[in-house]
Structure formats: structure tokens, C-alpha cells
Amino acid sequence: MANISIFPGKYVQGRGVLSELKEHLTAFGSRFLAVVNPTIGEETIERVTAALRRSLSEDELLLIEGGAECSTAEIERVAALICEKECDAVLGIGGGKTLDTAKAAAHFARVPVGIVPTAASSDAPCSALAVIYNEKGQLESRLRLRRNPDLVVMDTEIICRAPARLLAAGIGDAFATYIESRRCVLANGDTVAGGKVSLTAGGMARLCWETLRRDARRAMQAVRAGVCTQALENIVEANTLLSGVGFESGGKSAAHAIHDGLTWHPACHCMHGEKVAFGTLAELVLENADETELWEAFAFLDDIGLPITLEDMGIAQAVPAEMRMVAEKATAPGESIFNTNLTVTADAVYDAILLADALGHAYRKRV
């Protein structure tokens, strides 16, 4: 099988770049539909709208409010509007579900898509993937798109004012990238991009990890103060572009599979990147990682404010039957956990999760 790397068409990041959006959109046409996530808050919506209007008139850019879920009905509604309003491309503005709705609607309407996140909370913006939910918010399917987004715009003037927890979650998601990719390389596993790990994607995963270790703590200080610094810029790029290409073409392994298992736990309602952070600790335990690396991971995630125990994720009591279900879901056929050169069983994952939790408590006692 070939090494395959896939990328977004263009990635633009910097202070105030949203005010220059038009110059990046002209390649797609002259009339655009933007789906705005209503849950990003009044203040952010006002700031985003003001920036967009500095660049595009009401004739050029039609703003609509996104629905609560990225559901089939919502995707069809947006795709129909793209055709009805004769738009040349669609933009998704805000967070996860709205971005995925824009990606999927563009896929079906066969127009280009631009992604404008208002926080760096996961590595999804750059990927050729949309997660579809039913109207009740339960996961329905994962849609593989023909290609990655044509444009991704990260305006750090807006992102630095997002809640600190969102940046932390993005750091949690990005922290897994290199640890999973290196395991996928050892296993000669397949990536989400449908090939083997390329030198480029593996290198981006490693650069992501180095950038996090150097700048993530300072970036958290910046976002708590609502200011944009070089460390924050570096972490926004690590969370979004380096981790985006790094996970999609660099390979996933146990951390994301354990995340998938945790989504089935009735008490675990935290963000994607928060569950991935704990999943990474469990992966390091499963792999019998080097002692220094293991404790560094606990220290790093705890400093950022990410979960290092089950309790941090809302699981106050590790009920054996519930934790067994998590381990079984994490080792279901097709899960990325089999991208490893170890023999993985539900029993081994169950034990790794419980030991990661115990080590998290031990770490807290020590510091």
C-alpha cells in the first residue's frame, strides 16, 4: 500500500485575517453562504460578523444561523440553500457541528468549502471527514468527503478570546497525535487517509508534539488573559494544522479508540480532546512507555487543565461493568487501537484505563 498524505487546500492564520477573507475566496466565485454556529455567544458572533463585513458585502456573503446538530436534515437544508441562493461556495463559522454541516453540505452540493473556527478546540477543521448525528444528538455515521476543505481560516484575534477550556481540549486532541502516529508507524498500520504513514505526516505529528511541549503552557496563560501571543499562535497551528494532517495521514492508535469507548460511558460528558487526553495516558500505560515520558505526560496534561483521572471526566466511581463496556467498545472491530505492534485485548485496555486513573491520583498526591 502507498504512503498517502492529504491536506486542506489553503490554511490561513493570523490576527485579523477574517477581515481579508475576500481575497482568499475569489478563487471560488463571488457569492457565498456562511453558516454561523449560534452557540458561540453573542459577543463572538458580533465580532465575527463585523470582521466579515469589512471584507464582504451583504450581496456577496449571505449569513444564516446553523442548526443544533450536524444531522442529515440540517445538511440537506444547507445544501438546498446553496443551490437556491446560487452561491459559489459555503463557509462554516464556529465550532464542530456547524463546521461539519458546511463540509457535508459542500460535498453534496459539489461546491468548495471554507472553514472558519472560532476556537482551536480540535484537529477536525482540516480533515476530509464530517460526523453526522441524529436529531437527538446521537452519533449516526462518519462521512468521508471527496477532499479536505478548500480553505481553513484561523483568526487568532477571535480565537484568543474563546473560553480557555476550548484551547485546552484542542491541546488534548493534539497531544495524542505524535504518540498515536509513532505507534502506527511501528505497526505499519493504515491511516484515515487510506494509506501508510508518510514521512511528511509523521514529521508534522512530531513537530506538533515538540510545539506543544514548548508553548502550550504559555498559550494557556495567553488565552486566559484573552491576548494573542506568539506561543498562542504556535499552539493554534499545532492544534489545527499539524495535528489535523498528523492524525489524518499520520495514523491513529489506542488514544482515540479509548476515547470512542469513553463516549459510551453514561457519566462521561466531557469534550472530545479531554477524553483523548486521558486516552493518551491509557495508551502510554498499555504500551509500557518509558517512566520519564509517562510522568511528563501526567504533568503536562495536569498543567494544561486536562483530565488525568476518571473523576476529572465525570466518572466518580469506576463501576466494573461500565468500565468493561468502555474497554470492549475501544477494542471493537475496525477501531484504530489495532494500529499497534502489541496484542490488544479488552482485558488489557480495561487494566490500562484503571492503572492510568490510579497513576493520575498518585501524581496529584505527589505534587
Provide the binding-site residues for Zn ion, judged by CB under 5 A: 173
Catalytic residue selected from 272, 302, 312, 357: 272
Of 134, 114, 136, 137, the closest CA to residue 126 belongs to: 114
- Concerning whether 265 is annotated as a catalytic residue, the answer is no
Which is nearer to Zn ion, 173 or 190 (by Cβ)? 173
Which of 109, 169 has the CB closer to Zn ion?
Answer: 169
To the nearest whole angstrom, how small is the minimum distance from the Cβ of residue 311 to Zn ion? 22
Residue nearest Zn ion by beta-carbon distance: 173
Q: Report the distance separating Cα 87 and Cα 149, nearest Å.
A: 17
Backbone φ, ψ for residue 94 (5° rounding): 130, -125
Shortest gap between Cβ of 315 and Zn ion (angstroms)? 20
d(CA 120, CA 108): 26
State which residue, 71 or 122, has the beta carbon closest to Zn ion.
122
| Closer Cβ to Zn ion, 21 or 98, answer by number | 98
Helix and strand totals (H; E) in the chain: 14, 8
Could you tell me which residues come within 8 angstroms of residue 339 by beta carbon, excluding any fewer than 6 positions away?
180, 183, 184, 187, 189, 190, 251, 252, 253
- Among candidate residues 24, 150, 190, 259, the one labeled active-site is 259
* 114 vs 279 by CB, closer to Zn ion: 279
Length of the chain: 367
Helix, strand, coil share (%) of the chain residues, nearest 5: 55, 10, 35
Smallest distance from the beta carbon of 292 to Zn ion, in angstroms? 25
Query: Where would I find the H helices in the chain?
Result: 21-25, 42-53, 72-84, 96-109, 156-159, 164-187, 199-225, 230-237, 243-248, 254-262, 272-286, 291-304, 320-330, 346-366
Question: Cβ of residue 93: shortest distance to Zn ion, in angstroms?
Answer: 21
Active site residue 272: yes
Q: Are 70 and 97 in contact (CB under 8 A)?
A: yes
CB–CB of 100/141 below 8 Å? Answer: no
Q: Are 91 and 55 in contact (CB under 8 A)?
A: no
State the minimum distance, in angstroms, from the CB of residue 243 to Zn ion. 8
**CB 282, CB 254: distance < 8 Å:** yes
Q: Which is nearer to Zn ion, 34 or 277 (CB)?
A: 277
CB atoms within 10 A of CB 266: 10
Q: Which is nearer to Zn ion, 47 or 265 (CB)?
A: 265
Report the distance separating Cα 107 and Cα 130, nearest Å.
10
Q: Report residue 151: phi and psi, to 5°.
A: -150, 135
- Catalytic residue at 107? no
| Nearest distance in Å: CB 23, Zn ion | 31
Task: Report in angstroms how near the CB of residue 61 gets to Zn ion at its nearest.
Answer: 30
Residue 347 falls in the annotated catalytic set: no
Q: Write out the catalytic residue numbers.
A: 173, 256, 259, 272
